[in-house]
Each structure stands twice: as C-alpha cells, then as structure tokens.
Amino acid sequence: MASSVTTAGTGPVFHLEEEHAHAEGSSTMLGFWLYLMSDCLIFAMLFAAYGVLGGNYAAGPAPKDLFDLDLVAVNTTMLLFSSITYGFAMLTMDKGRVAATQAWLAVTGLFGLAFLSIELYEFAHMIHEGATPQRSAFLSSFFTLVGTHGLHVTFGTVWLVTLMTQVARFGLTEANRRRLMCLSMFWHFLDVVWIGVFTFVYLMGMLR
C-alpha cells in the first residue's frame, strides 16, 4: 500500500528532503519578539519582588518621602517623546531617506539620554539622603526594578549609536533596516515596561 509510493531500495521518507528557502533574516523579527517576551518575564519577577517587598520600609524612608512626581512626569514625557520620534525614524526609513532617519534617531537618542540623566539625578538625590539600596527591602527592590529598566535604556542607547554609525557607513541596507526594526521593538517595549513602573512604583507608592 504505502510502500508502493516509495521507490524500490529506499525506505519511506518522513521529512522534507530539502528545507524550503528562507530569506535571510526572515525569522529575526519573531526571534527578537521571543527575546522580548523572555525579558518581559524578567521584569515580571522584579515587579513581583517589588510588590511583595515594597511595603517593608525597615523604619526607613517611604515612597512619599522620596518620590518627586513632577520629576517622574517629566521622565515619562521624555520616554513617550522618544517613542514617537523612533516611530518617525521608522517611517522615514521606509521612504529610504537616510539623513532624515539619522536625524530622528539622533533625537530619539537625546530623549533617551535625557531620561537617563533625570533618573540618575533622582537616584543620586535619594542615595545622598541616605535612601540607599541597603537601607530597606523596599529600597532594594525599588533600585533593582527601576535600575534594571534604566540599564535596558542605557544599552538601547548604546545600540542606537551603534546603528547610527552603521547607517552612516553602509546606508539603509536590508540588514540595517532589520536591525533598526529590532531596536524599534526593543525601544517601544521599554516604554511599555515604564508604564508599569510609573503606575505601580511611583503613582501607587504615593497612594500608600
């Protein structure tokens, strides 16, 4: 029956002899999305740790004594602006306009740097007041969560500068477009995480 299909002398074949062609990098976006999902799990753990430990002040400073919502609002604005300017970079990239893409990427990078500077200022201010990560479980989990997000933004900015150099040297090649799209997802993903941070850590911290 089934054996009649196979040619004499060869066993039945249960897999494709030859893998069908994949364009180079065609699976990169899905793979990068899976990386982002695993990163999302890291942040979920850190949020859970903060949720559990966030009320343990050890007779130290509480969120109300430390957080400055005006500063956080400015910080959030920086990140939101950087998201839309990265979107504009993607749109100009689609049109193949190298100079405009580079300009929007530069603006995005500046907003990212502004975000990082404000965050570092906030951290330095807190540590100066004695609210160091060692002070209480609340502060340990706070610095771990917000610091991890800040580290992501730092690496995103480094990546952005790297890609700007790439685009400057080689133009908007297929590989560079793909890399820019990966960074775009990374950047917007960090903005999504920041929504969780300002809601759960800062706003709800002030409500405690």
Residues engaged in binding another protein (CB under 8 A) = 20-23, 25-30, 33-34, 37, 40-41, 44-45, 47-49, 51-52, 69, 72-73, 76-77, 80, 83-84, 87-88, 90-91, 93-94, 174, 177-178, 181, 185, 188-189, 191-192, 195-196, 198-200, 203-204, 206-207
Q: How many residues does the chain have?
A: 208
> Cβ 203 to another protein, closest distance in Å?
5
Q: CB-wise, 2 or 19, nearer to another protein?
A: 19
Q: CB-wise, 87 or 127, nearer to another protein?
A: 87
Q: CB-wise, 34 or 124, nearer to another protein?
A: 34
Distances (CA, A) of 146 to 45, 166, 167: 13, 30, 31
Q: Is 168 helix (H, G, I), strand (E, B) or coil?
A: helix
Query: Contacts for 38-42 with beta carbons within 8 Å, 24 or more apart?
Result: 39/152, 39/189, 40/189, 40/193, 42/148
Count other Cβ atoms within 10 Å, centred on residue 174: 10
Q: CB-wise, 89 or 164, nearer to another protein?
A: 89
